[in-house]
Amino acid sequence: MKNLNDGYAKIITDETLRETISHGSEEYPFRYYYEDIWLFDLHCIDWHWHPEVEFVLVENGTADFFVGSSRYVLNTGEAIFINTQVIHRFESSESTIIPNMVFSPLLIAAENSLIYRKYIKPVLMSSVECLIISPTDEKQCEMLDTIRNVFAIQESKSISELKTTELIMKLWGQIYESISWNDTQNINKTSAQAQAQLQIMMQHIHKNYYRRITLEDLARSVSISKSSVLNIFKSYLHTSPINYALEYRLKRAAKFLTETENSVFVIAQTAGFENVGYFCRKFKALYGMTPKEYRNHRRSERK
């Protein structure tokens, strides 16, 4: 029987939302995961990015995939390719099984090689944030078959790194051939700049969540207008800066409830809430239980 989520159900990131887990090793920069989005905190794989590329297959269920500034709904049998350094988030309203692989393109070829220069770097440096791979397209069906074959090797009793790499090279060729190079000659500089500004603003919120944070503070941190701040958050995170800051404070409070013995009042104050009643209402709206219930639930899980 396959082991779902491999013992963890939370994305760990640094202050820029870069995922901190190591996907494979320097010798073999590849990692396979068999996960259910529903088992993650708040039924979502929260915002993160990584230098590796990622392929995700929806084996069963339906999920919303927020990638860069776009939102996609993927159903059973569909897959998605997510390019390097693109911020993304997955969420579902029910159990949704998503086998996926995260790997460095250096697995295919060395950075100073002809293969890397001609076939890998152009994809990484393109404006393509992601590609949806659908079984309704004949060529994409071939990609889906390749992805499933890679996953089947990982789920077998005798994992073959050589066969895995061979299939990934084939898959990369299929991705390369599917891109319309006439439409993507250079990096989308506007998108890259906006994403960098977003990461700086999120970092500002993460460092100062316990204080009052204004729209002016965020605009000043990246030298843009307040309306541009609102547009960037809406485009990439599909929420407002205020709502993002509120949710981050609540997540910090959840962490304090789990890791400390402090009272709910003290935790509310520590997380930046002046009114404990307001904190409790917002906490229940997000987590579906009161702070005390959440603490008891987490303690029972540890037993």
Query: In this predicted structure, which of 174-188, 243-257, 272-286 has the lowest mean pLDDT?
Result: 174-188
pLDDT band at 180, cuts 50/70/90? confident
Whether pLDDT at 181 is above 70:
no
Amino acid occupying residue 185 = Q
187 versus 190: the higher-pLDDT residue is: 190
The CATH topology of domain 189-302 is: Arc Repressor Mutant, subunit A (1.10.10)
Measured distance CA(195)–CA(36) in Å, rounded: 28
Q: Where are the domains of the chain?
A: 4-178, 189-302
The CATH topology of domain 4-178 is: Jelly Rolls (2.60.120)
pTM: 0.79
Please report the pLDDT score of residue 5 as a whole number: 64
Whether pLDDT at 292 is above 60:
yes
**pLDDT tens string 21-69:** 999 999 999 999 999 999 998 899 998 999 999 999 999 999 999 998 8
**pLDDT tens string 198-221:** 988 998 999 999 999 999 999 999
pLDDT, mean of residues 223-245: 93
Whether pLDDT at 272 is above 50:
yes
Count CB atoms within 10 A of the CB of residue 27: 6
* Mean pLDDT for all residues in the chain: 91
Whether pLDDT at 261 is above 50:
yes
Task: Spell out the residues 6+ positions from residue 204 whose beta carbon is closer than 8 angstroms to its own.
Answer: 213, 217, 218, 221
Please report the pLDDT score of residue 185 as a whole number: 46
Chain-centre distance for alpha carbon 103: 14
Residue bearing tokens 């396979």: 32
61 versus 12: the higher-pLDDT residue is: 61
pLDDT, mean of residues 170-180: 92
Whether pLDDT at 96 is above 50:
yes
Residue bearing tokens 């320097």: 26
Residue bearing tokens 């152009």: 122
